[in-house]
Chain A
Amino acid sequence: MDSDESYLIVDIDSRTTKAILVEGAAGGYRLAGVSETETTMEAPVLDVAAGVKTTLAGLEEGTGRKILDGDRPSVAHRFMASSSTGGGLHMVVGGVTGIISGESAQRAALGAGALLMDQFSKDDGRPQFERVARLRSLKPDIMLMAGGTNGGAVTQVLEMAEVVKTADVKPRFGEEYPLPFIYAGNVEIRDRVKKALGEDRYATKMVENVRPVISEENLGPAKEGIYDAYMEHVIVHSPGYDELLSWTEEPLLPTQAAVGRLLYAYVEARRVNLIGVDVGGETTDVYSVFNGIFNRSLNADIGITYGIMNIVKETGLPNVMRWLPPEMKEREVRNTAGNMMLHEHGSLSPDQKNVQAAVAREAVRLGMEKHRGIASRLKGTLVGRTLSDMFNQAIEDTIIDMSKTDVVVGKGRVFSDQTTLESAMILIDSLEPVGVTEIMVDRSSIMPHLGSLLGVNHDAALQILVEESLKSLATLAALSGNAREGEEAVTVRMTVDGSEIVDSVKVGDIRIVPLGADEAAEATFIPHRRLDLGAGRGKQVKKRVQGGEVGLILDARGRPLNRFRKTPEAST
């Protein structure tokens, strides 16, 4: 399909404003140019639109296209934007029961791209005054409160509303304006909730219940309510955004929401299960789509620059040291990590690279630990148990199943600082997938842009994602189960370019079989009778495997992983 349409898309984070131009081309769409400059929301400029114009001028110069028309983008291109300035969208959520309505509210907020400052509920163990004091100290951008099924709890919901009223919570920016408050609980008591919150104290918005009945979760309307409040009440208080909004008819999304939407669309198109991790300097985001259910979690202050010492604090130094060469001692590791927090480094020394790779593994591992709790089955519902469940002691609460993860995507600076092999190993070591999994990284950092584009041109967004953004590093075949060290763990047979390749790996080892990024093969895996490649112990697996810059990785180190410094051996 050829198209004359072109799209000008901007993402603004606290430090960088990045613009891309996507235009129609033979066979669909192409990325015509990328430009970035510093964000100008802080003093002395105090006008985010100024930075956008500079970026667009750079794009004009780089592409030779007419991008600016005077003081605004040319109407020849459809303009869209996403933003995470000011550290992103800060939210507080509440519910009657922490693990039921509270969890649903939490999932809605995180799914909408928010950074969660706190979650409060009737059963959170805090006395009322502490909730009031805490709420008063928080200053979020938006509050979301759920509670009660439709026709269900009344008194507890009203009590929580009264706590909010007493706290008189002020917004982070623009204290003179009322804080946006979204109610997504029992719809039958909306008027009473509004009254309990106090007239005009909050900019209250009523949306559909996130838990209309106990066995059902409905997050869409709450997320939309958050986007609306973000546009109408939050972003307008930041300097320059009013001008930006006058250039577009499209909603301005929080950056993380745009990334989440894009990953979800990619999964829908491929019908796979996916885990995406975004390792930033200050935060680590985890996205997942399992059986069509999207979840996002965020570990604030866990990152590889500003958040690096917090990783050491949260995971403990021994967990970082286990990934490092034995010659690196504690003092060296601590000082290297500490200095990576204090100073920005253009290029990294070998020691810094080692430390970055180690803390990135722990950042993702900590992020995934939290994510399992967020991506959980609905609490408060009846769970049917089979006879075998009785022997399993417990049913997993999480919907994440690492043996059914088809695709893993890594995003963030660490994946460009490290080699492709190390990038793949960071994702494998921290997530420990089992079975056959594609390992990819984002190479161009344009996912937020494509997430914005998705709303107006689905096909263009997915085409650019696949062609320009996602890079296949490897396909991983990883085994679980116990077998004797040194025995053959799995044998793979596949035909590549007319030649048959047969290779195998021994228990305890990890091995790379060459399979280029532009190659794919029908592979047959024959595991050891005691080992499982996702189909059951000893069961053969036939699967089409995609190559990558690293190749096909056979991982027989076992799960959970207890061999931490194992270097993959290369097949000859």
Chain B
Amino acid sequence: MSTLQLQEDTVVRKERRLPTEGEALVKPGDHVEAETVVARGVVENPDIRELRVFSSLGVSPDMAKNYMLKSTGDDVGRDEVIAIYRSFFGRSTKVARSPIDGKIENFSPVTGRAIIRGHPIQMDVKAHLPGEIAELIDGEGAVVEARAAVLQGAFGLGGEARGELAFSLDSPDLPLTSGEIKAEHKGKVVVGGSVVTVDALHAAARNGVAAVIVGGVDQKDLTEFLGYEMGVGVTGGEDLGFTLIITEGFGVNPIDDARFSLLKEHEGRLACVDGTTQIRSRIQRPEVIIPL
């Protein structure tokens, strides 16, 4: 028997946190929709470049510091000169230019190298589900509270997605094939049956489906669809074009009756899903939240 969570009517509290410090754009008691931005912050730009200043100037590493025009912490533009070396009474000039727009994160007077990082990137966190702001998380986000039905899956791929619950099969025992996924499912959360075929996975991506919830998938088909071996059970960052939630496990596994009935009961309502999975000591399973 599955130990995965299934609750027909409960109060969900979802922490909505930025991966960095920022500010909450809501206050306790505010009503939010799923798409409401609750917090905004800036994250470090992953675009980071190393500039061998000494090499551009043609001097030894420990001499480069004498020719710097910019210092650690200064903003720089793309192609902006950050160091200049004149020799032969100004007849020969060598310069070091920034390869990107950003900031000098570090200049080492020992190695004569500068590290330049792109400008910070703005990041928003949405509420993910409609509800009320229960509390703020200092400088990081907020807690959204809502009444909802909640069920966990065994395994998922892809991150958060939202859409209307749609059924293309009447029985949890039937396989979900490409024929059951149609253009009308664009932006919806499609509930399938016992197994999703590899063609159906391609059809879901092609038709812009928000998410697929199904009992099982053949691990071989999933590997073929992903194009690589999955490895460890840590997911959420995959770019499939949709979120996939497997409620039972690998192979042909009809969705458990209680889960299927609960989903069917809420056909046409909004479902907020997250495929993020971590099978480890701090276990995290994919989840489907249906706000009531």
On A, residues with C-beta under 8 Å from B are: 14-15, 42, 87, 127-130, 132-133, 155, 158-159, 162, 166, 282, 301, 306-307, 309-310, 312-314, 330-331, 334-335, 337-339, 341-343
A334 touching B223, Cβ below 8 Å: yes
B154 touching A343, Cβ below 8 Å: yes
Q: Which residue of A lies closest to B49 (CB)?
A: A129
| Contact (A330, B220) CB under 8 Å given A129-B48, A312-B229 | yes
CA of A492 to CA of B218, assembled, Å: 50
B113 touching A128, Cβ below 8 Å: yes
- Which B residues lie within 8 Å of A338 (CB)? 155, 219, 249-251
Q: Which of A130, A158, A301 contacts B232 (CB 8 A)?
A: A301
The 8 A CB mask of B186-213 against A (1 = contact, 0 = none) is 0000000000000000000000000000
| Contact (A133, B219) CB under 8 Å given A128-B113, A339-B251 | no
Q: Which residue of A lies closest to B50 (CB)?
A: A129
Is B279 at the interface (CB under 8 A from chain A)?
Answer: yes
- Which B residues lie within 8 Å of A133 (CB)? 46, 48
Q: Which of B115, B249, B251, B279 contacts A132 (CB 8 A)?
A: B115
Q: Which of A14, A306, A312 contacts B233 (CB 8 A)?
A: A306
Question: How far is the CB of A262 from the nearest CB of chain B, in Å?
Answer: 24
Question: How far is the CB of B138 from the nearest CB of chain A, in Å?
Answer: 15
User: With contacts defined as CB atoms under 8 Å apart, how many contacts are there between chain A and chain B in the complex?
Assistant: 87
| Contact (A335, B231) CB under 8 Å given A127-B50, A158-B110 | no
Is B111 at the interface (CB under 8 A from chain A)?
Answer: yes
A306 touching B232, Cβ below 8 Å: yes
Interface pairs (21), CB distance under 8 Å: A14-B281, A128-B108, A128-B111, A129-B50, A132-B106, A133-B46, A133-B48, A306-B232, A309-B230, A309-B232, A309-B233, A310-B231, A312-B229, A331-B220, A334-B219, A335-B251, A338-B219, A338-B251, A339-B249, A339-B250, A341-B233
9 additional A-B pairs beyond A129-B49, A342-B233, beta carbons within 8 Å, are A15-B281, A155-B110, A159-B110, A166-B115, A335-B220, A337-B219, A338-B155, A342-B249, A343-B249
CA of A306 to CA of B233, assembled, Å: 7
- Which A residues lie within 8 Å of B282 (CB)? 42
Question: How far is the CB of B119 from the nearest CB of chain A, in Å?
Answer: 16
- Which B residues lie within 8 Å of A339 (CB)? 249-251
Q: Which 4 A-B pairs have the closest CB atoms?
A: A338-B250, A313-B229, A334-B219, A335-B251
Is B91 at the interface (CB under 8 A from chain A)?
Answer: no
B232 touching A310, Cβ below 8 Å: yes
Chain B CB within 10 A, most for which of A133, A306, A342: A342
B108 touching A335, Cβ below 8 Å: no
Q: Which residue of A lies closest to B252 (CB)?
A: A335
A335 touching B250, Cβ below 8 Å: yes
- Which A residues lie within 8 Å of B229 (CB)? 309, 312-313
Question: How far is the CB of A124 from the nearest CB of chain B, in Å?
Answer: 14
CA of A410 to CA of B242, assembled, Å: 44
Q: Which residue of B lies closest to A136 (CB)?
A: B44
- Chain B 61-116 residues near chain A, CB threshold 8 A: 106, 108, 110-111, 113, 115
A335 touching B218, Cβ below 8 Å: yes
- Chain B 160-216 residues near chain A, CB threshold 8 A: none
B106 touching A166, Cβ below 8 Å: yes
Chain A CB within 10 A, most for which of B218, B229, B251, B279: B279
CA of A480 to CA of B77, assembled, Å: 67
A341 touching B279, Cβ below 8 Å: yes
Question: How far is the CB of B282 from the nearest CB of chain A, in Å?
Answer: 7
A162 touching B108, Cβ below 8 Å: yes
CA of A23 to CA of B155, assembled, Å: 47
CA of A313 to CA of B233, assembled, Å: 12
The 8 A CB mask of B11-45 against A (1 = contact, 0 = none) is 00000000000000000000000000000000000
- Chain B 110-133 residues near chain A, CB threshold 8 A: 110-111, 113, 115
CA of A335 to CA of B248, assembled, Å: 12
- Which B residues lie within 8 Å of A132 (CB)? 48, 106, 115
Question: How far is the CB of A46 from the nearest CB of chain B, in Å?
Answer: 13
- Which A residues lie within 8 Å of B155 (CB)? 338, 342
Q: Which residue of A lies closest to B62 (CB)?
A: A155
- Chain B 216-255 residues near chain A, CB threshold 8 A: 218-220, 223, 229-233, 249-251
- Which A residues lie within 8 Å of B233 (CB)? 306, 309, 341-342
- Which B residues lie within 8 Å of A15 (CB)? 281
A162 touching B115, Cβ below 8 Å: no
Question: How far is the CB of A41 from the nearest CB of chain B, in Å?
Answer: 10
| Contact (A342, B106) CB under 8 Å given A301-B231, A306-B233, A309-B230 | no
A313 touching B108, Cβ below 8 Å: no
CA of A128 to CA of B51, assembled, Å: 10
Q: Which residue of B lies closest to A132 (CB)?
A: B115
